[in-house]
Chains A and B, each alone.
Chain A
Amino acid sequence: MRQFLFGNLLTGLISLNVVFAQDADTVVIGRFDPLALRVGFSLNNVLRTIARPNDTFYGFQADLVLGRYMLVAEYGSGELTRNNLPESVDIVNNPYSYQGQGSYFRIGPDVNLLINQAKTSFRADADGIFFGLRFARGQVTDRMTLQTRDDILDVDGNNNAFWPEQTITAQNDNLGVIWFEMTAGMKVQLYRNIFLGYNLRFKLARNFFGNPALIPYEVPGYGFGQSNEQFRFDYYLFYQIPFRKQERQPRRELPFLHLADNELFYVAEVIRR
């Protein structure tokens, strides 16, 4: 699976490198010059909300582009309901119902790795391959009702021989949770100021505040509450608000030819063949 992912990443990287080379309408910018603000929303959350009637999830992201760096703030919320499925067949097949809701924010920097490819002349407010870090804080309110199970068996091999089955409820009220993320991804300009991008996120060091009796099934923005680490993707559609006009330079002929000796270009050629 990981090989598959990294293979895709390499393909994307090379492709985007070529895109960059093709659209070399460049400006010379300072190190932290504010170039643009991108605001966007999570596509997969929208799709999930549409596709799953019991789920309502939203995610928003804003990037302030400062030279090759981006200051990123994210916010999202989610709500879900789960009930036992009639066809459930497993060792813990007990009636239950679960409702959870919560919100989160993330903040952290990204760095555009494409900058180094073009040295002094680039379009930092356009396409990008980035790596970043996030600090995330969320809170969850959830509640689960379940039937208890006693593992002492009776003579017929049935559970609950010692303790009768009981209905119990566990819940969290605004349970706090923090985690960190390492993220990488791409942003591609689809049309004028419209961008499509994805974030590949490795989430780690998940910590609930206190010792919750109920581990949230899903922490909005994080994923499965039981897992200490998560590996996830997010897709975003952005609109970019540029802070200044791009100074167009005379279009060079086949600027990619300058990359003839570039190893990435060579790899792209090899893959194409």
Chain B
Amino acid sequence: MEHNAFLYKKSRLGVLIALIFFGLSACEEESDCITDSTNVASVEFTKLISNEGSNSEEDALDSTIVLAEGSVARLPTDRGNQTGLPLNPASNTSTFYVFRQTEEGIFTGDTIVLNYRREQTLISPECGPDQQFTDISVDTALTTFDSVLVRNPEVSRFGETVNLRIFTCRYEMTNILRLQFDYPEVEEEPNDTLFIRRIYSSIGKENLLQDTLIEQGEDIIVEVPVTLSDEQVQVFLETEGATPETYDVLAYYQRDTFQVAKCLPQDRYRIDSLRLGENPGRLEEPTEVEESTVFNINNAVNATVSIR
């Protein structure tokens, strides 16, 4: 077998050449100047309809004005339900004031305090410095929002997920009992009418209804506010020139608390039973209520009583 001795004489030179090749390869990598850092945190406002254990998104949003502490500029909120909150690049905290027009001419003010961490880097001598905003957290002590969620704690120019989602809920649960009084027809008195002087309740002093004439076969609905502390409310109906002169309805109700995601906890009332009394006269036995018993603005009537 033949071998070329020249190969071995050149071998050390080969090693050195290999080292030089490595040397050429060892040049430092050059950085590109692309950065996705920004000081503008994205915020999305969402308004929900909260009702009996579920919620749904509402189309109409409150008109919103956003200001920041330490700056007189007003932030644009013309991107639908999204806006950008510019974090103070010289501080780890920024405070923003959000004014929402919840009803015509009525503004609600909220204060959002954002805490975050700033991380400075030198991208390269050519590209210069960079500052990133991370670990966003929210102090919601001064807000009336139902919830403020941090969806993405890293502020990024090209982030696909908004940094914050702010939820406001329109509640459809209520503390108003809708009580319907029926005045049924009777054959003996075809043109009978009933003049109601007033209706009032044991809770609150104001009249719920006053000086109203109803014909037989008609009904009236009164809205009776209830309270957390009581478990019953008594509703009085005073007539004029009728017998009996006064009716009273004793309504027993229950209260519990429910919460749906992203909305604040809410009281839920439901009627339990009714008892109709005639004055002078006797109280009837309690009657079970068959109508929709939960106090909800979508329920026209919670309970019905007949007053003939």
Interface residues of A (CB under 8 A from B): 1, 4-5, 8-9, 11-12, 14-16, 18-19, 21-22, 44, 82-85, 88, 90-94, 96, 98, 144, 146, 148-152, 161-163, 166, 168, 170, 186, 188, 196, 198, 200, 211-215, 217, 224-226, 232-233, 235, 254, 256-257, 260, 268-269, 272
Task: Give the contact stretch, choosing among B103-111, B120-128, B219-227.
Answer: B120-128
A-B contact pairs, 13 of them (CB 8 A): A11-B18, A90-B33, A92-B128, A146-B128, A150-B39, A162-B68, A163-B70, A163-B88, A188-B15, A196-B16, A225-B121, A232-B26, A254-B5
In the complex formed, the residue of A with least CB distance to B18 is A12
Given contacts A149-B131, A152-B86, contact A19 B15 (CB under 8 A): yes
> What is the CA–CA distance of A98 and B127 in the complex, to the nearest angstrom?
13
Given contacts A92-B35, A96-B129, A232-B26, contact A166 B90 (CB under 8 A): yes
Kindly state whether residue B130 has any CB partner on chain A within 8 Å.
Answer: yes
Given contacts A90-B127, A149-B39, A151-B38, contact A198 B71 (CB under 8 A): no
In whole Å, how far is A123's beta carbon from the nearest beta carbon of chain B?
15
Contact at B40–A163, with CB atoms within 8 Å?
no
Kindly state whether residue B89 has any CB partner on chain A within 8 Å.
Answer: yes
In whole Å, how far is B112's beta carbon from the nearest beta carbon of chain A?
15
Contact at B18–A15, with CB atoms within 8 Å?
yes
Chain A residues, CB < 8 A from B90: 148, 163, 166, 168
Chain B residues, CB < 8 A from A4: 21, 25
> What is the CA–CA distance of A88 and B157 in the complex, to the nearest angstrom?
22
Given contacts A15-B14, A213-B119, A214-B120, contact A90 B1 (CB under 8 A): no
Given contacts A93-B128, A162-B86, contact A215 B117 (CB under 8 A): no
Closest 9 CB pairs of A and B: A15-B14, A12-B18, A148-B89, A233-B26, A90-B33, A146-B129, A217-B122, A18-B11, A166-B90
Q: Could you count the A-B residue pairs with CB atoms below 8 Å apart for me: how many are there?
A: 170
What is the predominant secondary structure among interface residues of chain A facing chain B? Answer: mixed
Given contacts A15-B14, A92-B130, A233-B22, contact A161 B38 (CB under 8 A): no
> What is the CA–CA distance of A98 and B73 in the complex, to the nearest angstrom?
32
Contact at A256–B3, with CB atoms within 8 Å?
yes
Contact at B86–A151, with CB atoms within 8 Å?
yes
Given contacts A94-B128, A163-B89, A213-B120, contact A198 B35 (CB under 8 A): no
Contact at B120–A16, with CB atoms within 8 Å?
no
> What is the CA–CA distance of A12 and B25 in the complex, to the nearest angstrom?
14
In whole Å, how far is A135's beta carbon from the nearest beta carbon of chain B?
23
Contact at B23–A235, with CB atoms within 8 Å?
yes
Interface residues of B (CB under 8 A from A): 1, 3-5, 7-8, 11-12, 14-19, 21-23, 25-26, 31, 33-35, 38-40, 68, 70-71, 73, 75, 84, 86, 88-90, 117-123, 125-131, 157
In the complex formed, the residue of B with least CB distance to A268 is B7
Chain A residues, CB < 8 A from B16: 188, 196
In the complex formed, the residue of A with least CB distance to B20 is A8
Contact at B119–A215, with CB atoms within 8 Å?
yes
Contact at B86–A163, with CB atoms within 8 Å?
yes
Chain B residues, CB < 8 A from A211: 117, 119
In whole Å, how far is B204's beta carbon from the nearest beta carbon of chain A?
49
Contact at A8–B128, with CB atoms within 8 Å?
no
Contact at B131–A148, with CB atoms within 8 Å?
yes
In whole Å, how far is A237's beta carbon from the nearest beta carbon of chain B?
11
> What is the CA–CA distance of A94 and B89 in the complex, to the nearest angstrom?
14
Contact at A19–B130, with CB atoms within 8 Å?
no
> What is the CA–CA distance of A149 and B70 in the complex, to the nearest angstrom?
16
Chain A residues, CB < 8 A from B75: 152, 162
Contact at B1–A260, with CB atoms within 8 Å?
yes
Chain B residues, CB < 8 A from A224: 31
Contact at A90–B126, with CB atoms within 8 Å?
yes
> What is the CA–CA distance of A235 and B90 in the complex, to the nearest angstrom?
43
> What is the CA–CA distance of A212 and B17 in the complex, to the nearest angstrom?
42
Q: Which of A8, A11, A94 contacts B129 (CB 8 A)?
A: A94
> What is the CA–CA distance of A161 and B8 in the complex, to the nearest angstrom?
71
> What is the CA–CA distance of A82 and B123 in the complex, to the nearest angstrom?
11
Chain A residues, CB < 8 A from B40: 151-152
In the complex formed, the residue of B with least CB distance to A19 is B11
> What is the CA–CA distance of A5 and B22 in the complex, to the nearest angstrom?
7
Residue of B3, B35, B89 with most chain A CB atoms under a 10 A cut-off: B89
Given contacts A16-B15, A92-B35, contact A257 B3 (CB under 8 A): yes
Given contacts A166-B90, A260-B1, A272-B7, contact A88 B121 (CB under 8 A): no
Chain B residues, CB < 8 A from A272: 4, 7
Contact at A254–B126, with CB atoms within 8 Å?
no
> What is the CA–CA distance of A148 and B94 in the complex, to the nearest angstrom?
15
> What is the CA–CA distance of A18 and B123 in the complex, to the nearest angstrom?
45
Chain B residues, CB < 8 A from A268: 7
Contact at A98–B68, with CB atoms within 8 Å?
no
Q: Which of B12, B14, B33, B88 contacts A11 (CB 8 A)?
A: B14
Chain A residues, CB < 8 A from B4: 272
Contact at A15–B15, with CB atoms within 8 Å?
yes
In the complex formed, the residue of A with least CB distance to B38 is A151
Contact at A96–B128, with CB atoms within 8 Å?
yes
In whole Å, how far is A150's beta carbon from the nearest beta carbon of chain B?
6
